[in-house]
Amino acid sequence: MPARIIDGKIISEQVNAETATASAALHASRGVRPGIAVVLVGEDPASQVYVGSKEKKAKDLGFHSLKIVLPKETSQADLLAVIAKLNADPAIHGILVQSPVPKQIDERSVILAIDPAKDVDCFHPFNVGKLLIGDTDGFLPCTPWGVMELLRRSGIDAAGKHAVVIGRSTIVGKPMLALLMQKAAGADATVTVCHSRTPDIGAFTRQGDIVVSAIGKANFLTADMIKPGAVVIDVGINRIVDASTKSGFRLVGDVAYAEVAAKASAITPVPGGVGPMTIAMLMRNTLRACRRANGLPAEG
């Protein structure tokens, strides 16, 4: 029986509707709107698309949205000055600097410069530490949190399951491990992390009840690498050549979709799976930041 498709577009729309309702209620009761600022240094085409989609979604949800585009020659000192101004702006509750940044910018210094209370990407060590100790009052990293919401809203409970994460990046792999293994509802999984130095990754993924692939290699996870009935979450976004398309390329995930879908019990597509959830959870983090800035619980 073909795998059930976990539709990130539909689930992200549910999350966004809840966020919009909560944002409207906050404005009605406190006269404030969640505010998010996105800073782009340079004119990388892919980054422009990402920033544009975030800006549009924020406005759709009734947020105050600010986009700052700086020349690619911008110095680190000038970028840090922009961040300092945003840190001090009470109308801005979430700040993110779009990656990649030009080579003259030290990305770690940028992350450390953002006020942890406005770090809606959850990159600052303060928020990463709160994540690891299970402090739910902090922010959660957007893509891994999106994966957890896909599982939860699809009725897939990770408790007692063996989850295998492919990839150890600080953006997805490591925080995915932390979220899945938390002593919390929807988590409580036993987690194995595989990466580029893991010999025979398939030996591990074939044990997984849930397999999350975030390795960044097109069609890497094949049907022979999963067990029958596994839940497969594809975080990868890879561009491959396809002469049949107008652009000459198409987007695929880390998973060889057709063959894995025939063996899995549930699977996310690419595009339309994890991707929409990342922006949805970014907006939810911004709402949480706004509520806390106004003396309210993060959720409510």
Output the 3-class SS for 177-195: HHHHHCCCCCCCCEEEEEC
Strand partners, 194: 166
Contacts of 67 (CB under 8 A, 6+ apart): 37, 38, 40, 51, 55
Chain centroid offset of residue 79 CA: 24
Helix/strand/coil (H, E, C) string of 205-248?
HCCCCEEEECCCCCCCECHHHCCCCCEEEECCCEEEECCCCCCC
- What is the predicted pLDDT for the residue at 120? 97
Name the nearest CA neighbour of 138 among 104, 79, 101, 182: 182
Catalytic residues: 54, 98, 121
Sign of CA dihedral 173, 174, 180, 184: negative
Q: Tell me whether the omega of the peptide bond preceding residue 271 falls within 30 degrees of 0, making it cis.
A: yes
| Arithmetic mean of pLDDT, 157-173 | 97
Percent of the chain scored above 70 by pLDDT?
Answer: 100
- What is the predicted pLDDT for the residue at 58? 96
Residue 2 pLDDT class (50, 70, 90 cuts):
confident
| pLDDT tens by residue, 105-117 | 999 999 999 999 9
* Residue 134 identity: G
- What is the predicted pLDDT for the residue at 17? 98
Residue 298 pLDDT class (50, 70, 90 cuts):
confident
- What is the predicted pLDDT for the residue at 110? 97
| Arithmetic mean of pLDDT, 259-274 | 97
The residue ranking higher by pLDDT, 193 or 239, is 193
| pLDDT tens by residue, 69-83 | 999 999 999 999 999
| pLDDT tens by residue, 242-260 | 888 888 888 899 999 999 9
Taking the CB of residue 135, how many other CB atoms lie within 10 A of it?
A: 10
- What is the predicted pLDDT for the residue at 10? 98
The residue ranking higher by pLDDT, 188 or 245, is 188
- What is the predicted pLDDT for the residue at 277? 97
Domains of the chain: residue spans and CATH: 30-116 (3.40.50.10860), 142-275 (3.40.50.720)
- What is the predicted pLDDT for the residue at 176? 98
The rounded distance, in Å, linking the Cα atoms of 120 and 127 is 9
- What is the predicted pLDDT for the residue at 246? 86
| Arithmetic mean of pLDDT, 183-207 | 97
Query: HSE-up of 265 (CA within 13 Å, CB side)?
Result: 13
Chain centroid offset of residue 171 CA: 8
The rounded distance, in Å, linking the Cα atoms of 209 and 231 is 6
Taking the CB of residue 37, how many other CB atoms lie within 10 A of it?
A: 27
Torsion on CA atoms 9, 14, 20, 26, rounded to nearest 10: -150
Taking the CB of residue 206, how many other CB atoms lie within 10 A of it?
A: 15
User: 3-state class of 252 per DSSP?
Assistant: strand
Residue 23 pLDDT class (50, 70, 90 cuts):
very high
- What is the predicted pLDDT for the residue at 243? 87
Element (H or E) spanning 95, and its range?
Answer: strand 94-97
Name the nearest CA neighbour of 266 among 14, 15, 7, 13: 7
Relative to beta strand 94-97, strand 35-41 is parallel
- What is the predicted pLDDT for the residue at 136? 75
Record the tokens describing residue 226, joined without a space. Answer: 């999963």
User: What is the pTM (predicted TM-score) of this model?
Assistant: 0.96
Contacts of 294 (CB under 8 A, 6+ apart): 26, 30, 32
| Arithmetic mean of pLDDT, 11-18 | 98
DSSP secondary structure, 17-82, as one string:
HHHHHHHHHHHHHHS---EEEEEEES--HHHHHHHHHHHHHHHHTT-EEEEEEE-TT--HHHHHHH
